[in-house]
Amino acid sequence: MESVAFIYCRISQDRTGAELGVARQEEDCRKLAAERGLSVARVFVDNDISAYSGKKRPGYSAMLAALRRGEASVVLFWHTDRLHRSPTELEEYIAICRECSVQNYAVKGGEVDLSTPEGILRAGLLGQVARYESAHKADRVRRAMEQKAMKGEWLGGPRPFGWHFVDGVPEPHPVEAAVVADVCNAVLQGQSLGAIVAALNASGVTTSVGKPWGYAQLRQMLVRPRNAGLADWKGEIVGPSTFPALVSEDVWRAVVSILTDPRRRRSQSNKARHLLAGIAQCHCGAPVRSASVSGRSGEKYTIYRCPEKGTGHVGKRVSLVDSVVDRHMVAYRIIAARHRKYENPSREAEQLETEAAALRERLNEMALLAADGRITTSQLVASTTRIRESLEENESRQELLAVSAYLPQESYQFSQPDMTTPEAMEWFSSSVDTRRDYVRQVCNVILLPHGKGSARVFDADTVQVILKTKWDARGPLAKEEIPGLVAAWREAGIAVAEGAGRWD
């Protein structure tokens, strides 16, 4: 009666994905089975998995389980180093072979008798030799990679976006190089990565491997030193790269500073779908969230709801609140555009522009100090963060100064702009990420409780859009700030004009 055998095949690295290595191992093992009169029941394969790495090998684990069940009495393999290299794994395998009376045969090496001390010693020595060779090879590979990195050479992998290879030499890609520069400029102008991702995908620009852009892929592309013609090794700049620079080092360092700012929102698992979720605040101070509710007629709609418990907190329909804020943002952009045509800026505006130019020069100076090694990366990040905060404040003051010069005398004019203007068309054609960025930059939105008439009729006056003027509010307002700011805004005559819209 023929003995039943298992074949085990493994290859550490399959560069082509064709599994040719394991196929050749199986072919040789089947020849050995025929020579010994063995019937092959199953073939267990672990392709592109190293035994040295310690990673779990599904095929190997499945074979051990089948041996414990007594499904075979012989195991065939190409060489002992295909089966195991870890002494711990070998001890476990020896125990199973003794318990289940399993014989072992290698194509290269003959029978491996694990029932004798000599056989165990031989298997252990072969495994240790193979383990040493793997470790030595890994050291050589790491050293070779380090040498290439120090020279600024390409370490392999997918073609980096922004370059192509001409006779093996990297050159700027005729289309992608400009995209890299444009995306860096968009980050410096304050656009969110979500908005940039949406714009790239909408325009049909793909990654270098032909896939749509995602948040992680875009961020990884933006922070790589290669963009500025620099080479890095394990996170440290080690010299010039063989890849031509696509942007200046100053631009690259500024982009990295923005994207590594700890205040920047990291989570992309909950992509914002609504204009004011997490931005508008309940009159209690808590940022509102979006939620789905059902009206009396059973119709479902989305509201902005305060997450705090208790009575008196707001819950307003998203479409109605967004409509109010949209009108304010369009009016704001129209006014700002009108001011940009103004040829005689005030003394305050001129002073702000001078200060802004000085701050931008300081950013360049910090980048040069870092490039020369006179300050550390952490010092660069800390310094540029402070300078950029001052520059953002300066630019906001310039924008708000522009608007204040043209604020209408009546709130009705401000909240009922011409919605056919180019500014309106641009606003509504922008992505939600872009519009959210703009709202955060120029105003605070406070949602007040319903105060008059039927609660089923939307009162637009309960949506207070507070431009960041003399209060210069950065981010959400503190709870104690809200009553005074709302009162001051009302007195200034810029409260939202009254409007009506049915809740359900």
The pLDDT, as a whole number, for residue 435 is: 86
Whole-angstrom distance, CA of residue 340 vs CA of residue 337: 5
The pLDDT, as a whole number, for residue 452 is: 61
**Side-chain-side CA neighbours of residue 363 (13 Å):** 26
pLDDT score of 227 more than 60: yes
Other C-beta atoms within 10 Å of 253: how many? 25
Which one is predicted more confidently, 270 or 337? 337
**Residue 445, SS3?**
strand
pLDDT score of 406 more than 60: no
C-beta of residue 93 within 8 angstroms of C-beta of residue 57: no
Other C-beta atoms within 10 Å of 154: how many? 18
pLDDT in tens, 461-484: 888 887 765 334 445 667 677 777
Residue 239's DSSP bridge partners are 231
As annotated, the residues of the chain forming the CATH 3.40.50.1390 domain(s) are 3-147
Can you say how many angstroms the Cα of residue 113 is from the centroid of all Cα atoms in its chain? 53
Average pLDDT, the chain: 75
Confidence of residue 403 (pLDDT cuts 50, 70, 90): low
pTM of the model: 0.43
Q: What number does CATH give the domain 163-259?
A: 3.90.1750.20
Other C-beta atoms within 10 Å of 373: how many? 8
Of 140-154, 200-214, 239-253, the range with the lowest mean pLDDT is: 140-154
Confidence of residue 20 (pLDDT cuts 50, 70, 90): low
As annotated, the residues of the chain forming the CATH 3.90.1750.20 domain(s) are 163-259
pLDDT in tens, 142-175: 565 556 555 556 655 678 898 888 887 888 998 9
Which one is predicted more confidently, 485 or 368? 368
CB contact set of 438 (below 8 Å; sequence gap of 6+): 329, 430
Confidence of residue 6 (pLDDT cuts 50, 70, 90): very high
CB contact set of 62 (below 8 Å; sequence gap of 6+): 44
Token duo for residue 430: 């922008």
Average pLDDT of the residues in 44-71: 80
DSSP state letters, 268-318: -SS---STTTTTSEETTSPBPEEEEEE-TTS-EEEEEE--S-SSS--EEEH
In percent, the amount of the chain with pLDDT more than 90 equals: 7
Residue 379: closest CA among 387, 75, 106, 270:
387
Phi, psi of 426 (to 5 degrees): -65, -40
Pick one of 3.90.1150.10, 2.40.50.140, 1.10.260.40, 3.40.50.1390 as the CATH number of 3-147.
3.40.50.1390
The pLDDT, as a whole number, for residue 268 is: 44
C-beta of residue 46 within 8 angstroms of C-beta of residue 85: no
